[in-house]
Amino acid sequence: MQMSKLLNFKIDKLKASIEGKEILKGIDLNIKGGEVHAIMGPNGTGKSTLASTLMGHPKFEVTSGEITLNGEDVLEMEVSERSRAGMFLAMQYPSEIPGVTNADFLRSAINAHRGEGNEISLIKFIRLMEKQMAALEMDPQFMHRYLNEGFSGGEKKRNEILQMMMMEPSLAILDEIDSGLDIDALKIVAAGVNAMRSEDRSFLIITHYQRLLNYVKPDFVHVMMQGRIVKSGGPELSERLEAEGYDWVKEELGIVDETVGIEKEEEFKIPMNTVAPKY
Amino acid sequence: MTIQTAFPVDRSTVDALSKERREPEWMAALRREAIELAEQLKLPKLEKTRIDRWSVNDYGSYKSLPAVETVAQLPEGASQLLSEDVHRHLLVQHNSSVTYRSLPAELAAKGVIFTDLATALVEHEQLVRSYFMKAVEPGENQLTALHTAIWNGGVFLYVPKNVQVEVPLHALFFTDDLAATFAPHILIVADANSSVTYVDHYADTLASGNLVHNGIVEVFAKQGAHVQFASVHDFGPSVTDLSYRRAIVEADGRIDWVVGEMNMGETMSDTSSILKGNGSSSLAKVICVGTGDQKLNITTRAVHFGKHSTSDMITRAVLRDSATAIINGITKIEKGATFANGEQTERVLMLSPSARGDANPMLLIDEDEVTAGHAASVGQVNEEQVHYMMTRGITREQATKLIIYGFLAPIVSEIPIASLEEQLKAAVERKLGQ
């Protein structure tokens, strides 16, 4: 909820690993107030790990490098402090939390930002939530549904954007927010993002496809491979990727396998040569 | 020398009490027989729980209290639990005696009886006699026998055929005297095609010492009748709570149980639905929160006799500190109960490494053409959920709290009286907020 025209978000030589395996191998990125950055890349190149690491997911360990938000050390902040400092992550797979309504959750979040003694009034909150839900063409009943429980993939994504609109972050990280959305939903979500674009708010959009970027025009496009940003450019870069795919980037840079070899969901395989227990 | 010196209740006092209260001879005889039975019977054998090591012998003795005219005349600890909206259809038991009761005239005119059991014994003797200790038998174990011998106060609720009682009837069972026996018996009879909601609350203001609450609830839902029963047990650490609740449901009848076990002391409860008639159904929702070194043994049970009978049981327990809870769910489908369907779910949320929770689902099925299912889990607060909430600025403590409340919320919100729902929420908060 903090707004600052001087927003300056810096990622410096960031390395992170999971269970001892390095995924992010030195990320450098600088995002300034009002800018929209897109990170593109094939699956398994570390894009989502970057999003999760920026927000402080405990599964990922930062082994070296720095993240600063307006000069403040983000790595020193607890997850909830990062949020209160103005960071927001729209997740690819948000959790389902039974028994906690969407409204109760969001009001708790907003009040956590506003601080004790400065809580939002219930009526003001309800009006705000109704307004933003209408903008996203969400059924009003979602207000009283349990958080993400039984939501379809598209409904979850819309709900993430709803939270972003309610919380008004200064840096919004959108992790594959376009996956699972049909074209109409994509347009609505994009309109929500565009409505929030301003000089004092920045976006980091992580996406596999160009199509979201047709509706939300980025200022900068970065290609991620092997846990690094291997190429950066303007909107024309994403257009070329859409038209030609990633192979030319790999060829240009001499990359054979672009993945970091872990990000893909590990599939459970039934062991074939086991013997059934006797009893 | 016999070991009877350690027996908690004296035979001669039981007899004297019956005389003093001018009970019918059959009741006096029942009490006499029961005390003899109690001396021979053992405590119930509970799954993984040594109830014999609990303080189960502090019964005190019967002490009569005079009735009061208004709720305000009750002890403050009791009156503050009773919001204005329940005063008109309310019964209050204070220690051994029912001291306050009210029922709107329009309900009485329809033939609804809502009174204390002692009064009912005088005014509706045959009705009481037909049902008292018929769902639960005196000889099941030492506790049921003792209860039969020493029961006091209590409720008799009768709803005539085809009468729908719209307003929830409310009872408070309150104790503040260690020396007074506290053994209410709740007897509910819903005659054919009637419906009623009964809600009660158990509480005390005992500062220290030990007292046993030995209570029995019997519900008879006749053909097509629907009984909604909600109960919050909110005793402090001085009370050992031993409660049996049992409903016998006739054809197309229904019992809904909602129970909040919020005691601070040792607690044994057994909530059973006997689905006797074809098409009968039951739903039991139970929550409990264990704190300190509390021990809980919570059983829900559905026994199917009727064809096409259905049961559902949902228990959720939150355990912190070094509390122990044994959560049992028993679905029994008898031979002949074709097309019965029994479901049960037990979930235990552990907040501390030294807490112990056991979920024991049991399906005992003697008939082929049935469906039955169970799910049980014992786990901790989900770290992904905590993380998700934290990414929105909510602190770890607050996120954990929201998740725990969310775990219990679907049951808390089922309490049919708003003021009692608030009290249950407050009890949850008190138990989790320490």
Query: Which DSSP helix (H) or strand (E) runs through B428?
Result: helix B418-433
Task: Say if A198 is an interface residue toward chain B (CB within 8 Å).
Answer: no
Give residue A261's pLDDT. 67
Distance from CA of B310 to the nearest CA of A (A): 25
- Per the document, the length of chain B is 434
Distance from CA of A263 to the nearest CA of B (A): 18
| Cβ contacts from A onto B, under 8 A | 80
Quickly state the pLDDT bin for A215 (edges 50, 70, 90). very high
Instruction: Look at residues A167, A160, A15, A194 and name the one whose alpha carbon lies nearest to residue A82.
Output: A167
Contact list in A for residue B382 (CB cut-off 8 A) is 95
Contact list in A for residue B396 (CB cut-off 8 A) is 78, 80
Tell whether the model's pLDDT for residue A98 goes beyond 80: yes
From B276, B301, B323, give the residue that closes a domain.
B276
Task: Answer yes or no: is B365 within a domain.
Answer: no
Instruction: Look at residues A81, A27, A78 and name the one whose alpha carbon lies nearest to residue A49.
Output: A27
Tell if the CB–CB gap between B395 and A112 is shorter than 8 Å.
Answer: yes
For the residues B49-65, what does the mean pLDDT come to? 92
Contact list in B for residue A52 (CB cut-off 8 A) is none
Note the Cα B115 to chain centre separation in Å: 18
- Per the document, the length of chain A is 279
Quickly state the pLDDT bin for B432 (edges 50, 70, 90). confident
State percent of chain A over pLDDT 90. Answer: 81
Give residue A279's pLDDT. 40
Task: Say if A83 is an interface residue toward chain B (CB within 8 Å).
Answer: yes
ipTM of the prediction? 0.91
Q: CA of B412: which chain A residue's CA is closest?
A: A99
Instruction: Give the least confident one: A189-203, B3-17, B272-286.
Output: B3-17
Task: Answer yes or no: is B190 within a domain.
Answer: yes
Quickly state the pLDDT bin for A194 (edges 50, 70, 90). very high
Task: Say if A98 is an interface residue toward chain B (CB within 8 Å).
Answer: yes
Q: How far apart are CA B267 and CA B288, in angstroms?
A: 10
Give residue B5's pLDDT. 41
Distance from CA of B276 to the nearest CA of A (A): 34
Tell if the CB–CB gap between B394 and A109 is shorter than 8 Å.
Answer: yes
Pairing of strands A72-73, A61-69: antiparallel
Of A83, A89, A95, the CB nearest to B385: A95
Give residue B320's pLDDT. 95
Quickly state the pLDDT bin for A276 (edges 50, 70, 90). very low
Tell if the CB–CB gap between B390 and A83 is shorter than 8 Å.
Answer: yes
Quickly state the pLDDT bin for A268 (edges 50, 70, 90). very low
Q: DSSP strand E in B60-184: where?
A: 90-94, 97-101, 113-115, 155-159, 169-175
Q: Which residue has the tokens 């839902």?
A: B221
Tell whether the model's pLDDT for residue B274 goes beyond 90: yes
In sequence order, what are the residues at sequence separation of 6 or more whose Cβ sits closer than 8 angstroms to the Cβ of residue A191? A135, A215
Q: Are residues B47 and B167 in the same domain?
A: yes
Give residue B6's pLDDT. 57
> What is the overall mean pLDDT for chain A?
90
| Sign of the torsion angle spanned by Cα atoms B178, B171, B21, B55 | negative
Roughly what angle, to the nearest 10 degrees, separates helices B396-412 and A102-114?
Answer: 150
Tell whether the model's pLDDT for residue B248 goes beyond 60: yes
From B276, B292, B321, give the residue that closes a domain.
B276
Task: Say if A116 is an interface residue toward chain B (CB within 8 Å).
Answer: no
pLDDT top residue among A200 and B230: B230
Torsions phi, psi for A32 (to 5 deg): -110, 165
Tell whether the model's pLDDT for residue B256 goes beyond 50: yes
Q: CA of A160: which chain B residue's CA is closest?
A: B392
Task: Answer yes or no: is B314 within a domain.
Answer: no
Tell if the CB–CB gap between A98 and B408 is shorter than 8 Å.
Answer: no
Confirm if A227 and A199 have CB atoms less than 8 A apart.
no
Tell whether the model's pLDDT for residue A265 goes beyond 80: no
In sequence order, what are the residues at sequence separation of 6 or more whose Cβ sits closer than 8 angstroms to the Cβ of residue A77? A56, A85
Name the residue type at position B298. Answer: I
Quickly state the pLDDT bin for A5 (edges 50, 70, 90). low
Of B383, B384, B393, the CB nearest to A113: B393
Contact list in B for residue A84 (CB cut-off 8 A) is 393
Instruction: Look at residues B241, B245, B327 and name the one whose alpha carbon lies nearest to residue B56.
Output: B241
Task: Answer yes or no: is B253 within a domain.
Answer: yes
Q: Are residues B238 and B386 in the same domain?
A: no
Give residue B8's pLDDT. 81
Using CB atoms within 10 A of its CB, is residue B349 exposed (0-12), middle (13-18) or buried (19+)? buried
Instruction: Give the tens place of pLDDT for each residue, B407-422.
Output: 998 888 888 888 889 9
For the residues A18-26, what does the mean pLDDT come to? 94
Contact list in A for residue B391 (CB cut-off 8 A) is 55-56, 79-80, 82-83, 88-89, 91
Q: How far apart are CA A71 and CA A74, in angstroms?
A: 9
Confirm if B315 and B299 have CB atoms less than 8 A apart.
no
For residue B194, give the 3-state DSSP assignment. coil
Contact list in B for residue A105 (CB cut-off 8 A) is 389, 392, 402
Instruction: Give the tens place of pLDDT for each residue, B330-342.
Output: 999 999 999 999 9
Give residue A1's pLDDT. 46
Contact list in B for residue A120 (CB cut-off 8 A) is none
Quickly state the pLDDT bin for A267 (edges 50, 70, 90). very low
Tell whether the model's pLDDT for residue A101 goes beyond 60: yes
* Partner residues linked to B426 by β-bridges: none
| Tokens matching residue A106 | 């969001």
Note the Cα B263 to chain centre separation in Å: 12
Instruction: Give the tens place of pLDDT for each residue, B355-398.
Output: 999 999 999 999 999 999 999 999 999 999 999 999 999 999 99
Give residue B410's pLDDT. 86
Task: Answer yes or no: is B283 within a domain.
Answer: no
Quickly state the pLDDT bin for A263 (edges 50, 70, 90). very low
How far, in Å, are A38, A94, A211, B333, B423 from residue A175 at the CA level?
10, 10, 14, 50, 42
The C-alpha angle B207, B211, B217, rounded to 5 degrees, equals 120
Give chain A's domains with CATH numbers.
8-93+166-253 (3.40.50.300)
Tell if the CB–CB gap between A80 and B393 is shorter than 8 Å.
Answer: yes
Tell whether the model's pLDDT for residue B2 goes beyond 70: no
Q: CA of A101: which chain B residue's CA is closest?
A: B406
Q: Are residues B391 and B257 in the same domain?
A: no
Query: Which DSSP helix (H) or strand (E) runs through B290?
Result: strand B281-290
Contact list in A for residue B393 (CB cut-off 8 A) is 80, 83-84, 109, 112-113, 167
The three-state DSSP-derived secondary structure of chain A is CCCCCCCEEEEEEEEEEECCEEEEEEEEEEEECCCEEEEECCCCCCHHHHHHHHHCCCCCEEEEEEEEECCEEHHHCCHHHHHHCCEEEECCCCCCEEEEEHHHHHHHHHHHHHCCCCCCCHHHHHHHHHHHHHHCCCCHHHHCCEECCCCCHHHHHHHHHHHHHHHCCCEEEEECCCCCCCHHHHHHHHHHHHHHCECCEEEEEEECCCHHHHHCCCCEEEEEECCEEEEEECHHHHHHHHHHCCHHHHHHHCCCCCCCCCCCCCCCCCCCCCCCCCC
Distance from CA of B409 to the nearest CA of A (A): 5
Give residue A270's pLDDT. 44
For the residues B14-41, what does the mean pLDDT come to? 90
Gyration radius from chain A CA atoms? 20
Domain count, chain B: 2
Instruction: Look at residues A84, A83, A67 and name the one whose alpha carbon lies nearest to residue A9.
Output: A67
Query: Which DSSP helix (H) or strand (E) runs through B426?
Result: helix B418-433
Give residue A275's pLDDT. 45
From B210, B241, B276, give the residue that closes a domain.
B276
Contact list in B for residue A82 (CB cut-off 8 A) is 391
- How far is the first Cα of chain A from the last one, in angstroms, to the nearest whole number? 60
The domain containing residue B402 runs over which residues?
381-434
Quickly state the pLDDT bin for A3 (edges 50, 70, 90). very low
Task: Answer yes or no: is B255 within a domain.
Answer: yes
Instruction: Give the tens place of pLDDT for each residue, B122-162.
Output: 999 999 999 999 999 999 999 999 999 999 999 999 999 99
Task: Say if A103 is an interface residue toward chain B (CB within 8 Å).
Answer: no
For the residues A129-142, what does the mean pLDDT come to? 95
Task: Answer yes or no: is B230 within a domain.
Answer: yes
> Please, which residues 153-172 of chain A have a Cβ atom closer than 8 Å to chain B?
163, 167
Instruction: Give the least confident one: A99-113, B14-28, B339-353.
Output: B14-28
Task: Answer yes or no: is B420 within a domain.
Answer: yes
DSSP letter string, B314-365: EEEEEE-TT-EEEEEEEEEE-TT-TT-EEEEEEEEEE-STT-EEEEEEEEEE
Q: Are residues B268 and B392 in the same domain?
A: no
Give residue B419's pLDDT. 87
